[in-house]
Structure 1
Amino acid sequence: MRIVTHTCSNTEIVCALGRGDCLVGVDDHSDYPPEVVGRLPRIGPDLDVDVETIVALKPDLVVTSLTVPGHERCLERIQAAGLPLLVTQPHCLADVADDILRIGEAIGADSEARDLAGRFNETLEQPRPDARPVPVLVEWWPKPVIVPGRRSWVNEMLELAGACNPWANEDAESLQISAARAREAAPEIIVMSWCGVDESKYRPHVVQRREGWDTVPAIAGNRIHPISEAWLGRPGPRLLEGIERLRELVSAYQ
């Protein structure tokens, strides 16, 4: 089977299901696992894939996504080319488990998919910590500041870690917030998880120096921490590790 994946999360799901050897192309941002993706042709950046390149790879299946604004334009062009598609658009951890099952069925990895999806379901069944949830601002982008809303798996990840997203009731996948909204929400921890940026390039001083943010508790207490978007922003197998990283961080302040 010849598979092309669009988005890091879909690439990582296919590889986690033991079908990395079926991949014939991935998007430019897919970087894990490096021993697999390092040898593969690239189909272009996440928000501007080259459909002609995909067609030339003669895939039996293209696994694509609607997880980021702009993906819909890629999907339209892939559909117009008549390519065989599987589309993911998860909003919660159960959706991620369901996507794993759907992908597993499509690529002949049903057993592996049931095992991996089962790990997500077991995690969801874990009791939440008894302590007061710590309000945590997860920052997808620094300027303007973009945070997750209600339709994001990050809410459950935070809950499992003993925290909460101050904007969990906002009916959006993500939203832009102002300094006034940050002060009102009063997050006690800020997690930098800048999408598409290597964690080594995260800069806490960018957050610390924001005008009007000096009274935000996380800023005043210098509680600004990096957790790569590879662990929080990609709806695939590494979210399970992301939950553990959040737990370690939050427990230090409880």
Structure 2
Amino acid sequence: MVSTTTSRSIAGLSVLVATALIAGCSSAEDGTVDSGSSTEATTTQSKEGFPVTVTFAPEAPVTIEDQPERIVSLSPAITETLFAVGAGDHVVAVDEYSNYPEDAPLVQGLSGFTPNVESILDYDPDLVVLMSADDSILTGLDAAGVDTLVIPAAENLDETYSQIEQVGRATGFEDQATTVVDQMKTAIDAAVATVPEEVKEQGLTYFHELGSDLFTVSEQTYIGQIYDMFGLTSIADGGDAYSQLSNEAIIAANPDLIFLSDAKAENLTAEDIAARPGWDTIDAVANGRIYILDDDIASRWGPRVSQLVEEIAAQLNQLASSEAVPAAA
């Protein structure tokens, strides 16, 4: 909102905020969805089953007559989803922030925040995926005969699952999408179950940093709901889903845990956080409970959400095993 990092995080996680987990419909050895590869089965699905109708907004169902062969994605979360369900071979261009998986055809300057019809049409798409769009973009793509899906940020896990399944349906990979969702649910349930109940019931509080301008999340947000699965409570209670706290307010709230989703983008370390004026008095800092999250995974609402849940679970388990669970302030 006020900074590039914050606006990207909010757009990703709920926008995100916002946000997508991923390519290839195959699973890693630990049971998580692996978005980096696709199997032969996922790329040879029949074109039978079309036309299909998908609905990402109740008032705007979209009917796709034929299986898309040239897809442009201007949404990092949905780029990951396309590759996760096996449609990656049909993706011809993605926006400048769609940096995962590595083989996604990223185009510098191709924007999902300010999409341009001419730039999109340069790639001769038969399907375009956007996070949001004004009428002029939709009108221009429609005039060119291009199917367009506007897929807003998911507000919760159920919406993520629904979006993945509908993206699979829209691209001809419905069965693979169902497999991805099943794998995600299994991985998330397993990760949450690994954390001891004594940790979940302790009433621990957290500060989730979206940017060094101290924007954070409340429990109303997508990621706030994920923290709630572990019994964690945001220090930003009530009010806006995303709020900017003062340095003094964070110190006074004295969170038990600090999670950073801006470390990569802003080159931050736990030592940088501890060096902030007055922060050495915060329990999370004094007790070494500053946790660095992957910026991209923490700001996207697609298939890699299961990896985010696993990452948080691992950090809480490390806390539980290394010391007695701290008493909440």
For Structure 1 versus Structure 2, the TM-score category normalised by the shorter chain is 0.7 to 0.9
Residues 142-194 of structure 1: CA distance to partner in whole angstroms, max 9, x if unpaired?
1x11112244221232233453333364442x221112331343211211111
SS class of match (2:258): strand
- Gap change, CA 1:117 and 1:77, over 3 Å in 2: farther
- Gap change, CA 1:19 and 1:162, over 3 Å in 2: same
1:81 to 126, 140, 145: 140
Distance 1:99 1:194 in 2: 26
- Gap change, CA 1:168 and 1:106, over 3 Å in 2: farther
Q: Do 1:150 and 1:170's aligned partners in 2 also have CA atoms closer than 8 Å?
A: no
- Gap change, CA 1:112 and 1:42, over 3 Å in 2: farther
Counterpart AA for 1:97: Y
2:93 to 14, 18, 25: 25
Distance 2:162 2:288 in 1: 38
- Gap change, CA 1:191 and 1:40, over 3 Å in 2: closer
Q: Which residue of 2 aligns with 1:113?
A: 177
Q: Which residue of 2 aligns with 1:165?
A: 234
Q: Which residue of 1 aligns with 2:123?
A: 57
Distance 2:277 2:237 in 1: 24
Q: Which moved more, 1:131-140 or 1:162-171?
A: 162-171
Q: Do 2:207 and 2:235's aligned partners in 1 also have CA atoms closer than 8 Å?
A: yes
Distance 1:139 1:11 in 2: 25
CA displacement at 1:46 relative to structure 2: 4.3
1:130 to 197, 206, 211: 197
Q: Which moved more, 1:90-99 or 1:156-165?
A: 156-165
SS class of match (1:63): strand
- Gap change, CA 1:222 and 1:121, over 3 Å in 2: closer
CA displacement at 1:119 relative to structure 2: 3.5
Distance 2:166 2:237 in 1: 27
- Gap change, CA 1:170 and 1:118, over 3 Å in 2: farther
- RMSD across aligned positions (CA): 2.7
- Gap change, CA 1:231 and 1:168, over 3 Å in 2: farther
- Gap change, CA 1:214 and 1:195, over 3 Å in 2: closer
TM-score by length of 1: 0.82
CA displacement at 1:196 relative to structure 2: 7.4
Residues 117-138 of structure 1: CA distance to partner in whole angstroms, max 9, x if unpaired?
2334453696685222432222
Report the structure number with the largest CA radius of gyration.
2
Paired-residue identity, % = 24
- Gap change, CA 1:112 and 1:165, over 3 Å in 2: farther
CA displacement at 1:209 relative to structure 2: 2.7
- Gap change, CA 1:163 and 1:150, over 3 Å in 2: closer
TM-score by length of 2: 0.65
Matches within 5 A, 1:1-254: 1-34=69-102, 36-37=103-104, 39-42=105-108, 44-65=110-131, 72=132, 74-76=133-135, 78-83=137-142, 84-86=147-149, 87-122=151-186, 123=188, 129-131=196-198, 132-142=202-212, 144-167=213-236, 169-172=238-241, 174-194=242-262, 197=265, 201-253=267-319, 254=325
Q: Do 1:161 and 1:243's aligned partners in 2 also have CA atoms closer than 8 Å?
A: no
SS class of match (2:279): coil
Question: Structure 2: which 5+ residue stretches go unaligned?
Answer: 1-68, 320-324
Counterpart AA for 2:152: T
Q: Do 1:43 and 1:50's aligned partners in 2 also have CA atoms closer than 8 Å?
A: no
- Gap change, CA 1:21 and 1:75, over 3 Å in 2: farther
Q: Which residue of 1 aligns with 2:19?
A: none
CA displacement at 1:76 relative to structure 2: 4.9
How many residues in Structure 1 have an aligned counterpart in Structure 2? 241
Counterpart AA for 1:148: V
Distance 1:177 1:208 in 2: 17
Q: Do 1:91 and 1:153's aligned partners in 2 also have CA atoms closer than 8 Å?
A: yes
- Structure showing greater relative contact order (alpha-carbon pairs closer than 8 Å, 6 or more residues apart): 2
